[in-house]
Amino acid sequence: MPDLSKPRVLFVDDEPDLLAGISRNMRSERFDIVTTTSARSALAMLEKGDPFAAIVCDLNMPEMNGITVLQRAWDCAPSVVRVLFTGQPDIDNAIAAVNKGAIFRFIVKPCPRVSLAFALNAAVEQHRLITAERVLLEQTLNGSVKALTEVLSLTAPMAFGRATRLRQTVGSLAAAFGIADPWHVEVAAMLSQIGSVILPPATIEKVYQALPLNESENAMLDRMPAVVDKIIGDIPRLEPVHEILRFQDKHFDGSGAPANTPGGEAIPWGARALKLAMDLDALESEGLPPSLALSTLKGREGRYDPAILQKLTEVRSGQRHARVRELPLDSLQSGMILAQDVRTNKGVLFIARGQEVTPSLLEKLHNFAPGLLGEQMIRVILADAPPV
């Protein structure tokens, strides 16, 4: 069993005697040392989520060199601090390691125990800082984002429903591309509709149903980007989200807003994915079947990243077999996803399709039904099925 009271450090080297000496010499220090002679075994431990603060890898490993090991370690466990162990320090290896493996420090063989302990202490402290940063993001920023989206859900349920569907789509794309941390693009999807709070409900309904707008409504729509920019700009640490939203209307061929900026892969990946998700949702909201909506997107040459468009087609193809059932409102359960809008007896949108049924949503339905909503039947995607 690992000693979780001590920071764990993973040493990877193809010399068993060296690893044995490190374990023996570092026994009196404040580390829990884990060793392996196999690069693949080390990566398997990281992929499994073993709680390491740092990984120290030899440069000359037989299966793959240490730079490749640290690069892959960064991909699967970005918070684990990476250290290169080498007996051949040179400028080429240093540049490659920094660029590809994002290493924190070099350790040159042979390394005295005191120097090794000093390096490991620095790596562990760096891991602590990284972890503290993640906690800040998860707690402080998530709280701010949650507050904003809850305001959106109360004031503009149709906009909130679209934001929820966009988050599901970009989340599926991020998973398909193996994006290690999709937090920024998912938050961008949820906040992409926050500007709708300045729109009257009737205007929001027209926007999401692609109905013609009058001059006054178009003017309000034109002001929305500035509103979003102001809201996002006042929240620290959301710079990557702000950048995604800034480029969400940019076309892959370089056309579109913002003008005079490069296209292609110079556009943030999250913005390219969000652009596709928004246009697909707009077409489906007009009543187009998913297959026809995707065909329409494919016919718009130059607008989208071809690789993301292809992956979106594959993702949607895999979701066509989701189990959908029609249930009375009082039979909804947490985890289900609404496959249609919930409207009041007077036709006013109450909850938009795409939202996940949560305990708070069930409480909201309980408080208002049945007088306001009647005894209508609602199509839902079951909890064990992927969203469509």
Angle at the Cα of 72 (from 68 to 78), degrees rounded to 5? 130
* DSSP H or E run through 12: strand 8-12
Residue 56 confidence (pLDDT) above 90: yes
- pLDDT tens sequence across 125-169: 888 888 887 776 666 667 777 777 777 777 777 788 888 889 889
Note the pLDDT of residue 310: 93
204 and 68 in a common domain = no
CA-CA-CA-CA torsion sign (286, 299, 315, 100): negative
Average pLDDT over residues 74-86: 87
In-domain check, residue 258: yes
315 and 331 in a common domain = no
Note the pLDDT of residue 250: 93
In-domain check, residue 339: yes
Average pLDDT over residues 47-71: 88
Which domain-ending residue is among 305, 320, 335? 320
Q: Which residue has the higher pLDDT, 208 or 177?
A: 177
| Cβ–Cβ < 8 Å for 213, 266 | no
| Cβ–Cβ < 8 Å for 197, 156 | yes
- pLDDT tens sequence across 157-189: 778 888 888 988 999 999 999 887 788 898 899
CATH number of the domain that residue 85 is part of: 3.40.50.2300
What is the number of domains present in the chain?
A: 3
380 and 272 in a common domain = no
Average pLDDT over residues 45-66: 89
pLDDT band for position 368 (cuts 50, 70, 90): low
Query: b/e string for 243-264 if b means 16 or more Cβ within 10 A?
Result: bbbbbbebbbeeebeeeeeebe
109 and 30 in a common domain = yes
Q: How far is the C-alpha of 143 from the C-alpha of 146, rounded, in Å?
A: 5
Question: Which of 4-8, 15-19, 111-115, 206-210 tops mean pLDDT?
Answer: 15-19
Note the pLDDT of residue 140: 67
229 and 186 in a common domain = yes
What's the longest Cα–Cα distance across the chain? 79
Q: Which two tokens stand for residue 39?
A: 């690069």
- pLDDT tens sequence across 257-295: 888 898 999 999 999 999 999 999 888 887 777 888 889
DSSP code per residue over 298-316: HTSTTSS-HHHHHHHHHHH
CA-CA-CA-CA torsion sign (256, 261, 266, 268): negative
pTM of the full structure: 0.59
- pLDDT tens sequence across 329-341: 778 887 777 777 7
216 and 68 in a common domain = no
Average pLDDT over residues 43-69: 89
Q: Which residue has the higher pLDDT, 21 or 342?
A: 21
Residue 387 confidence (pLDDT) above 50: no
In-domain check, residue 144: no
- pLDDT tens sequence across 371-385: 666 677 878 877 554
308 and 347 in a common domain = no
Residue 78 confidence (pLDDT) above 60: yes
From 34-43, 57-66, 233-242, the region with the lowest mean pLDDT:
233-242
Q: Which residue has the higher pLDDT, 107 or 270?
A: 270
316 and 252 in a common domain = yes
In-domain check, residue 261: yes
CATH number of the domain that residue 186 is part of: 1.10.3210.10
DSSP 242: H
In-domain check, residue 2: no
In-domain check, residue 186: yes
385 and 357 in a common domain = yes
31 and 67 in a common domain = yes
* DSSP H or E run through 58: strand 54-58
CATH number of the domain that residue 350 is part of: 3.90.105
- Domain with 225, as residue range(s), is 156-320
89 and 27 in a common domain = yes
In-domain check, residue 137: no
Query: What is the chain's mean pLDDT, rounded?
Result: 82
214 and 88 in a common domain = no
Q: Which residue has the higher pLDDT, 149 or 122?
A: 122
Q: How far is the C-alpha of 357 from the C-alpha of 334, rounded, in Å?
A: 5
Q: How many CA atoms lie within 13 A of 173 on its CB side?
A: 27
| Radius of gyration, CA atoms only, the chain | 26
Burial (0-12, 13-18, 19+ Cβ within 10 Å), 185: buried
DSSP code per residue over 78-137: TTSEEEEEES---HHHHHHIIIII--SEEEESS--HHHHHHHHHHHHHHHHHHHHHHHHI
